[in-house]
Structure 1
Amino acid sequence: MVHTLSILIDLEPEHLHYFEMVHRHKSCNVVMRQYNRRGLHFILYRKNKLACSIFVDVVEILGRTLVKESDYTYIKKYLINCLSILFNDENLFFEHNLTRFDFSFNAYIPNAKIRQQILKLLKKLPGAYRRMQQNNSYKTSMLYKSKSVEVIVYDKVAERLAKQEKIRSYEKDMLRVEVKLSNAHIYRQCHRHGKPKQLFTFLHLFLFEKYFEQYFLNFIHCGDYYTSSIAFKKIMKSTLKEKEKTKLIQLLERINKEGIDKVKSSYNPKTFRKWMTYLDTLKINPILIPDTAGIIHIHSLQKYYFNTLKKLS
């Protein structure tokens, strides 16, 4: 449900005094390593206002990718303990300010070639969606970004290898999908709904579903990926009228050659949505696998999302 998050906590002079007296000449992160506390990165702010920023890798703390609402109790106790070690104040956690929250799910795909092909196919989606702009600067990921929300799909193994880092057991063969909420977005949502700007406000299954439906599922289409020959055969075997079959195949041929943005702009929006609905019904993705890929069929990422949802429910 969640991968990483960040919180900010205001400190008092006595907190800093305790830290400097007990943990002389050590950083917060060194102290955490000495106490074998993993998955955290601290930054102390001493100018203008005393504060502590904590980056929390929930997956690393738990040692698993499946994070449930019920894990909040453990995460809370873990952070309370860490803050107590550093600043001798168990109540600091309850004053935290959530500044980042990354919803996520993982797709276990053992074939590295398929993982890379999925990223290539996703990069053929429209260049913009819900005020987010696509960024194709990275080979091992697909990114859409706005000022307040990011959607990223990336190959965790490829990322670790590129950084020359150890691949953890729960990361092996994983394609990770994340919807990242910025501090500004979190503030607006909490202010609008009168909710505390804290971790427990966002660690909920209904919000996981809401954000993935809004920013990912409705965007990537529910159909599986096929080569043109397989997709056309499925269309021809469908119960559509012959004229509709012909037009649908022509549409896919155009998308394959011209790109979905250009083709979409040449259609009336209502008409284009109708053809996309037909493809969704047939479980065919409008983005086709190139004939040269050496792969004829790839499951949609929606399949992995719904599998995760079942495990979380």
Structure 2
Amino acid sequence: MIHTFKMYIPLNYLEVQDIQQRLGIKYSELNSYFEDYYKGINAVLMSRGKGEWHLSMVVDVIQLLGTPDIKEGMYGRFEYKIKLMLMDIFGHSLSYKNHVLTRIDYRYDVVVQNKDERQLLIDLYKKMARSYCRQTKRTGYQNKKTKEYVTYGTSVEHKSNSVKSLVYMKAEECRAKGREPAPYENDVIRFEVQVGNNRLYYLEKEKGVPRKLSEYFKHQEFLNHFELYIFPIYYTDTFYKLDEARKIITKSPLKPQNKQKLIDFLKKVSSYDLDTPLKSMTKATQKKRIATLQILQINPITIPKNYKNAPSILENPLKTCPIA
């Protein structure tokens, strides 16, 4: 469900002075002062100018609660731990009610023990649509020094100014950042939605959803964001090699001409990515083809014929998601 979130509590300079005096530290030393006591919390005092300050907090909920199995019913336990830290900082926890959520990351982890299959899944997800709801697909980055394009080996993302949807191999990401993965991160493919401040602000102003942790800790919000930003991009249907997909289509009750249209569509997609057929068809026709494939439970991305060690059929990990 939830992985990480970021929030702030508005302060004034007198409150910052009081914190420094109470704890006997400089404001810049706050995080190092508490880092051994509150695992998973990074807290920083930041000046906003004109006497306005923020207590900014980035919280790894898994580390804080000591379990990767985060559920809505744990909110009370979570709030208690945050308030304990606020008590140590301010001498009270009343300021918690003033917190403003600025980012929250929802996650769904699936164990795929076969390393070749994990890599194949990432390579298949890379072939999804180049854009979705103002989110642009990114399969790499430009090296700032060499200006060369570097392809992501174990991840793919769709990103906008408000939301990022991504799929990645968790253990490999951990090692790339210089740490060994935790036991629950081994052999995992993670599907993640990072909900940014622009999105949270929009939902507050337009939909009346307060930017409070109590609102976004709800399981329904996890469902809402996966239904909006994961399933429409990466789909939940089974991956097939083209020959296997052709067998299913041939046995279906579709009219012969519609069967051929689907097969031709899959061939075009297999040549590069999901948007390749748009060179010769409209977006509406593309959506119609995908919808028909979904009825047959065929993922529009086929497994490449010559992919090393690839099976003919591969279940999509998203198929096991409770809300799929």
Q: TM-score, normalised by structure 1?
A: 0.91
Match of 2:207 among 181, 193, 198: 193
Counterparts of 1:140-151 in structure 2, within 5 Å, are 140-151=154-165
C-alpha separation in 2, matches of 1:114 and 1:209:
26
Q: CA deviation at 1:121?
A: 0.9
C-alpha separation in 1, matches of 2:19 and 2:289:
65
1:284 is aligned to 298
Match of 2:321 among 295, 299, 305: 305
1:7 is aligned to 7
Once structures 1 and 2 are overlaid, which stretch shifts more, 127-136 or 112-121? 112-121
Do 2:107 and 2:190's aligned partners in 1 also have CA atoms closer than 8 Å? Answer: yes
C-alpha separation in 2, matches of 1:109 and 1:103:
19
C-alpha separation in 2, matches of 1:130 and 1:195:
21
Do 1:65 and 1:106's aligned partners in 2 also have CA atoms closer than 8 Å? Answer: no
Q: Structure 1 segments of 4 or more deviating over 6 A?
A: none
Q: CA deviation at 1:14?
A: 3.7
| Number of equivalent positions | 307
Do 1:6 and 1:53's aligned partners in 2 also have CA atoms closer than 8 Å? Answer: yes
1:165 is aligned to 179
C-alpha separation in 1, matches of 2:234 and 2:180:
31
- Identity across matched positions, percent: 29
Q: Output the amino acid matched with 2:241.
A: T
Match of 1:86 among 89, 95, 108: 89
Q: CA deviation at 1:265?
A: 4.3
Deviations 1:73-113 (A, max 9, x none): 11111100011112222112111111111122111211222
C-alpha separation in 2, matches of 1:195 and 1:248:
42
Q: Output the amino acid matched with 1:54.
A: M
When you count helix as a share of all residues, which structure comes out higher? 1
Instruction: Pick closer, same or farther for the CA change 1:166–1:27 going to 2, 3 Å.
Output: farther
Q: Output the amino acid matched with 1:2.
A: I
Once structures 1 and 2 are overlaid, which stretch shifts more, 17-26 or 265-274? 17-26
Q: Output the amino acid matched with 1:170.
A: Y
Q: Output the amino acid matched with 1:241.
A: K
Q: CA deviation at 1:7?
A: 0.6
Q: CA deviation at 1:20?
A: 4.1
2:275 is aligned to 261
1:272 is aligned to 286
Structure 1 position 53 matched with structure 2 position 67: no
Match of 2:231 among 195, 217, 223: 217
C-alpha separation in 2, matches of 1:258 and 1:27:
51
C-alpha separation in 1, matches of 2:241 and 2:157:
24
**Alignment partner of 2:302: what SS?**
coil
Q: TM-score, normalised by structure 2?
A: 0.88
What are structure 2's unaligned runs of at least 5 residues? 141-151
Do 1:157 and 1:167's aligned partners in 2 also have CA atoms closer than 8 Å? Answer: yes
1:31 is aligned to 33
Match of 2:65 among 57, 62, 70: 62
Q: Output the amino acid matched with 1:32.
A: F
2:144 is aligned to none
Do 1:236 and 1:245's aligned partners in 2 also have CA atoms closer than 8 Å? Answer: yes
Q: CA deviation at 1:206?
A: 2.0
Structure 1 position 235 matched with structure 2 position 249: yes
Q: Which structure's relative contact order is higher, taking Cα pairs within 8 Å and 6+ residues apart?
A: 1
